[in-house]
Structure 1
Amino acid sequence: MTGYFAWHELMVPDPEAAARFYGAVTGWGTRDASTPDQPYTLLTAGDRPAAGLLPLRPADMAKGALPGWIGHILVDDVDATLARATALGGVVHVPPRSVEIGRFAVLGDPQGAVFAIFAGTLPEPQPIGTPSHVGWNELAAGDWPAAFDFYAALFGWQRAEAVDIGPMGTYQTFGLGGPAMGGMFDKPAAIPRPFWCFYIAVGDIDAAGTRVAEAGGQVINGPMAAPGEAWVLQGLDPQGAFFALLGTRATP
């Protein structure tokens, strides 16, 4: 099925250090999947690929690229989707490129949040909440209704549950007609730009927060209660990449 987040990647200056950190926090293993042109590490949950890891080169950082995660949305045709995205007000950050397993491009939505599109072969996605897999995709938007309209027109997303989050307004979940795969809301003014955040399922959220600190990361928000008896926290890894965790709590 197209239109869903099919893959997530982390780009950092030191991939080996990142593999150690996320391995300690989430239990991920590693598998080398480099090509002659591109170093690449698969982050694995058991024998299943769960995410990708690749180096952020100094030349990219000199152009303003920062360590961080990006989500890939599966499409039938990268070039046709890119044309629709730009017609809807999106921008192109990385033009379409072909790799061994498919073709991808990196875009920005009209409000500046960055995402990727991919056509090709990717690992079968796991159900939401599967341990050591990304379990939620969240957009902190400048104007979430306008952002939703962009993604709905591009990928066919549908509104699911709308949750009142008090002074911050509405948290709108979305999907493709089945279970919700993410949510979006209007970011606080203190957050400088819209961005996508991805939540990794980890089991006990308090134990995971302890592992973050012990591995050299920083918890910057949470743990916080979320709908459905879930708990979440957000943090920075040792290289400054923003990440989030999704789990449970034995004693709320």
Structure 2
Amino acid sequence: MSASTPGFPTWVDLGTADLRDAQRFYTALFGWDVHYDGSYTTFLLNGRPVAGAGPLYDEGQPTAWSTYIATADADDVAARVAANGGKVLVAPFDVADQGRMAAFLDPGGAPFSVWQAYSMSGAALFDVPGALTWNELNTRDLAEARAFYGSVFGWAFRDSEMGGLPYLVAKLNETAICGLQPMPADLWPADVSPHWMVYFAVHDCDRTAAHAAALGGLVVYPPTSLPIGRYAVLEDPQGGMFAVLASNR
């Protein structure tokens, strides 16, 4: 599958309160280069697009990373989102000749977007240090999320567990593409909304976490070992939360 395969998480971008400082932070942290067209930043790794960033448009909107899921028909996804209990935040619209996008809330309130590729197919690199390696939904209602995303994108699911809690691995054509996990009330503060977390691959999780802190970021969840590798949850200086993973596979 490629980045533009329908149902595949294809792109992530950051809406930030300080675009210039975000450029400083992420280029230093991941070795990215910047292509800025006057309104939107494309982060490049070895000359290839891996993520984006832009300004916030609504007062009070928090700095946050967004996950985009590929589709062949953004308008059809919008109809299916509405029919399955989600909300259309931004109706499908064309982004020049690059593609067509739309933004939604799932039934649990987690925001996500879709990308229908024209000239821009999505990220050009995955699963290498400095590139996107995983996307994960944190939700208050796992069964509801399973039904919703299965209906909207045709995902199948493999039941698993992580840290003693249920964990769903979403699959397309037997390929694992993202994860869904619950947010138990005793582990997640009530003021943390359901959300999609983005994971970037790194060589060394501990070193990256320390570097993020030195650059003015915050280590939200310290480096921790999992069967698949070592990960940490970090926050940029504007409050944008993301995770890093040093895979052992």
Q: What's the counterpart of residue 80 of structure 2?
A: 84
Q: What's the counterpart of residue 193 of structure 1?
A: 193
- CA displacement 1:123-157 (0-9 Å, x = unmatched): 45534x21111101011111112201110111111
Q: What's the counterpart of residue 20 of structure 2?
A: 16
Which ranges in structure 1 are unaligned for 5 or more consecutive residues? none
Matched, 1:202 2:180: no
Q: Is the 8 A contact 2:205 2:230 kept in 1?
A: yes
* Equivalent-residue separation in structure 1 for 2:32 and 2:101 (angstroms): 25
Judged with a 3 Å threshold, the aligned counterparts in structure 2 of structure 1 residues 111 and 123 are, in CA distance, closer, same or farther, namely closer
* Equivalent-residue separation in structure 2 for 1:233 and 1:174 (angstroms): 22
Please give the root-mean-square deviation of Cα atoms over the aligned residues, in Å.
1.6
Q: How many residues align?
A: 237
- CA displacement 1:74-120 (0-9 Å, x = unmatched): 11111111011100000011122211211111000000000001112
Q: What's the counterpart of residue 146 of structure 1?
A: 144
- CA displacement 1:156-208 (0-9 Å, x = unmatched): 11113512522xx2122112124312211111321532100000111111110
Which ranges in structure 2 are unaligned for 5 or more consecutive residues? none
* Equivalent-residue separation in structure 2 for 1:123 and 1:93 (angstroms): 21
* Equivalent-residue separation in structure 1 for 2:108 and 2:87 (angstroms): 10
* Equivalent-residue separation in structure 1 for 2:173 and 2:157 (angstroms): 8
* Equivalent-residue separation in structure 2 for 1:124 and 1:97 (angstroms): 20
Q: Is the 8 A contact 1:165 1:171 kept in 2?
A: no
Q: What's the counterpart of residue 240 of structure 2?
A: 241
Q: What's the counterpart of residue 92 of structure 2?
A: 96
* Equivalent-residue separation in structure 1 for 2:207 and 2:136 (angstroms): 23
* Equivalent-residue separation in structure 1 for 2:122 and 2:77 (angstroms): 21
Q: Is the 8 A contact 1:97 1:105 kept in 2?
A: yes
Judged with a 3 Å threshold, the aligned counterparts in structure 2 of structure 1 residues 172 and 77 are, in CA distance, closer, same or farther, namely same
User: Which 4+ runs in 1 deviate beyond 4 A?
Assistant: none
- Report the 3-state secondary structure (helix = DSSP H, G, I; strand = E; otherwise coil) of the residue aligned with 2:180: strand
Q: What's the counterpart of residue 121 of structure 2?
A: 122
Judged with a 3 Å threshold, the aligned counterparts in structure 2 of structure 1 residues 140 and 149 are, in CA distance, closer, same or farther, namely same
Which one has a larger percent helix, Structure 1 or Structure 2?
1
Judged with a 3 Å threshold, the aligned counterparts in structure 2 of structure 1 residues 227 and 12 are, in CA distance, closer, same or farther, namely same
* Equivalent-residue separation in structure 2 for 1:110 and 1:6 (angstroms): 22
Return the TM-score normalized by structure 1. Answer: 0.89
- Report the 3-state secondary structure (helix = DSSP H, G, I; strand = E; otherwise coil) of the residue aligned with 2:225: strand
Q: What's the counterpart of residue 71 of structure 1?
A: 67
Judged with a 3 Å threshold, the aligned counterparts in structure 2 of structure 1 residues 124 and 10 are, in CA distance, closer, same or farther, namely closer
Q: What's the counterpart of residue 33 of structure 1?
A: 37
- Report the 3-state secondary structure (helix = DSSP H, G, I; strand = E; otherwise coil) of the residue aligned with 1:220: strand
